[in-house]
Structure 1
């Protein structure tokens, strides 16, 4: 397939890289136990302010996907960064003393100006001399505004700004930064759960960044306390007596398509047997959907073992049996259908309200309710509501395998 000249893939990866790097640097700063505010696309790609609002660090990120980029003396990446910083100083937006970082996947050639602005082998005076020769020897129109901003200040001012510039070249790319992120969160969860922990942390971070970028009129920064609070919440969820509940499932709202897709499920037929309302059926479908996907993720990420789930389901069935038999004892075997439906609804109400946590810290009700509906959907069903649900379902349904949610295969994975 031919490449698309107008593809935005590189730009998109650059923005994603910026977001991931901002998280990485934020996690690193949190370890220093100093309060800060981080924002994207304000003064720079990433800006770290003190709690009082004064910028302390500005970070430019440059990501290259398919080519071996070079941070030469005429590099566009280098001069774009210098333009942002020199113009920021000229406008009074960047205070003297602010640290300026250029983090790039490109490499600075030996002897280049950028190579002398690294932390190691640093020689700012030499870097300045090399940069001062570029405007007169370059015909780059793209770099021309940067050359003007650089030459507009005195040599002493250039030196003062360059003293704050640090080049971090050959940085890990967007796909290889994971190990650095894991190193920052290694103490938050067991090593085998680092991927699952980071997936949830980055999901929250992306949503928080979107909120920050879309704030109006002035983008509001993200407080370090917010990041610490989310980390603390996730740490609790990854303890032995707990499991993470994912926000996308908590926020899932049943739509007409999902309702229709589940209309012929066995657990739905069980509800229709006892004539519950459409809204109650909808709530059951929502809980079934949430519980199936949440449990599948726990299994896939090895946060929960198949044996743990089997023991939990046995406990649910045992508790249901007590409620089910008690409801049957309240009516005669020859009771009218209305009496049987009333008894069935009492069992369903019990299942909708009972708290039987899969682990002590997991208190989200949809896990219990959805798990009951999953048991009611098995063939043969392990739980039911109508006193004669086995016989009634046999009359109503054709034999066959249970239908799984759209996009879901067997074996407990999504």
Structure 2
């Protein structure tokens, strides 16, 4: 297969998946949708196919739906097979060919199969022309499709043709994205439209991959309700009292994988002798919070100085509890290292259990916990009573490396 052919095939598949998302968002009825089950796209109601959709994407602007078009006849062949095997009832199922190609005045079959309500739809004319084209058998690439069509009985052919709708000149893969954006405008703030769509499409593509690969035995068609719920979950994160939590797929690095400038907070944890598993959890919180905060900044989602103000609140809460810990230590007659470690670990545990959110509805615990580790890495907070004296040399070393 040539590189051009492979890229066209991939583009056609991506178009199919994106167009399916557009359809389910536009659909008024609460149908379920399957990708490449009976057809490219299948709308179902209680497990019964209600509409089978074949999508055909072309990059050439002048492509047309000719009477001998391979797109048309390959699609008809698929539907003939489904009809013969009893998988569809054409009296109850709509068969739709969606194509970016345009029907011209010479493409009579395509125009005769326009949807109901259009002047040119004529099932009898379409049936006669399809039979005439199939009987001529002049196009060898369509030979199998012609044969499959003619093997149907006269009544079956009529049933099939009556169920067919051709939507020509449909939006291409880029225009389909714009169509989806128009739908999302009603529920999404304008400045976040692109990002919301990116995240919805990312989730949608992952769902379709799961469906196609059948990773789980119980994978079911995707419902419109499921899609709308996901959209609501995403858009709610862009309200003024919330922030989006991005799905970041990464392997939690070990201490050895971190650069030297990101190990200060780990040394802080070692001072209070935290168990290795908890240190790994801290590394996870640190990385995840760091990535979330970085994306918020890059995507311009934070208010002026919001992160600085949030950190000031965190530092203030820590300072109050740190000073209270020092007061308690003042009454200890024998301040051994174990005493300092135990008090420091107690402070750390208390801070870990607090709920200080950057915004009211942004409540993921790792944001606060990871932010505290970021501050600990900068030596702005600490857990051990003598953390500044014990670890000052680390900051000095880092400063020397920078200068």
Question: Given the alignment of the two structures, is residue 39 of structure 1 paired with residue 37 of structure 2, yes or no?
Answer: no
After TM superposition, give the deviation of residue 306 of structure 1 in Å. 4.7
Question: Given the alignment of the two structures, is residue 61 of structure 1 paired with residue 59 of structure 2, yes or no?
Answer: no
- TM (norm. structure 1) is 0.85
1:80-110 CA-partner distances (Å, limit 9, x unpaired): 1111112222222111231111112222233
RMSD over aligned CA atoms reads: 2.8
Question: Given the alignment of the two structures, is residue 213 of structure 1 paired with residue 212 of structure 2, yes or no?
Answer: yes
Judged with a 3 Å threshold, the aligned counterparts in structure 2 of structure 1 residues 401 and 368 are, in CA distance, closer, same or farther, namely farther
Unaligned runs of 5+ in 2: none
Judged with a 3 Å threshold, the aligned counterparts in structure 2 of structure 1 residues 176 and 382 are, in CA distance, closer, same or farther, namely farther
Aligned to 1:337: 337
Structure 1: distance between partners of 2:114 and 2:349: 66
1:302-323 CA-partner distances (Å, limit 9, x unpaired): 3333522222111111111111
Aligned to 1:99: 94
1:167-186 pair list within 5 angstroms: 167-186=166-185
Q: What secondary structure, in the 3-state scheme, does the structure 2 residue paired with 1:56 have?
A: strand
Q: What secondary structure, in the 3-state scheme, does the structure 2 residue paired with 1:101 have?
A: strand
Aligned to 2:143: 144
Structure 1: distance between partners of 2:98 and 2:160: 17
After TM superposition, give the deviation of residue 9 of structure 1 in Å. 2.5
Unaligned runs of 5+ in 1: 404-414
Structure 2: distance between partners of 1:80 and 1:183: 32
Structure 1: distance between partners of 2:346 and 2:338: 13
Question: Given the alignment of the two structures, is residue 244 of structure 1 paired with residue 244 of structure 2, yes or no?
Answer: yes
Structure 2: distance between partners of 1:343 and 1:140: 85
Of stretches 112-121 and 290-299 in structure 1, the one that deviates more from structure 2 is 112-121
- TM (norm. structure 2) is 0.87
Question: Given the alignment of the two structures, is residue 48 of structure 1 paired with residue 47 of structure 2, yes or no?
Answer: no
Aligned to 1:278: 276
Does structure 2 conserve the Cα–Cα contact (< 8 Å) formed by 1:262 and 1:285? no
Structure 2: distance between partners of 1:296 and 1:273: 28
Does structure 2 conserve the Cα–Cα contact (< 8 Å) formed by 1:60 and 1:103? yes
Of stretches 275-284 and 340-349 in structure 1, the one that deviates more from structure 2 is 340-349
Q: What secondary structure, in the 3-state scheme, does the structure 2 residue paired with 1:331 have?
A: helix
After TM superposition, give the deviation of residue 248 of structure 1 in Å. 3.7
Q: What secondary structure, in the 3-state scheme, does the structure 2 residue paired with 1:60 have?
A: strand
Q: How many residues are matched?
A: 391
After TM superposition, give the deviation of residue 341 of structure 1 in Å. 2.6
After TM superposition, give the deviation of residue 46 of structure 1 in Å. 0.7
Question: Given the alignment of the two structures, is residue 196 of structure 1 paired with residue 195 of structure 2, yes or no?
Answer: yes
Structure 1: distance between partners of 2:120 and 2:291: 53
Structure 1: distance between partners of 2:343 and 2:335: 10
After TM superposition, give the deviation of residue 253 of structure 1 in Å. 5.1
After TM superposition, give the deviation of residue 366 of structure 1 in Å. 0.5
Q: What secondary structure, in the 3-state scheme, does the structure 2 residue paired with 1:342 have?
A: helix
Structure 1: distance between partners of 2:365 and 2:401: 24
1:172-228 CA-partner distances (Å, limit 9, x unpaired): 222332211112222222121122222222222223223322337786312233223
After TM superposition, give the deviation of residue 137 of structure 1 in Å. 4.2
Tell me which of 117, 123, 131 is aligned to 2:121: 123
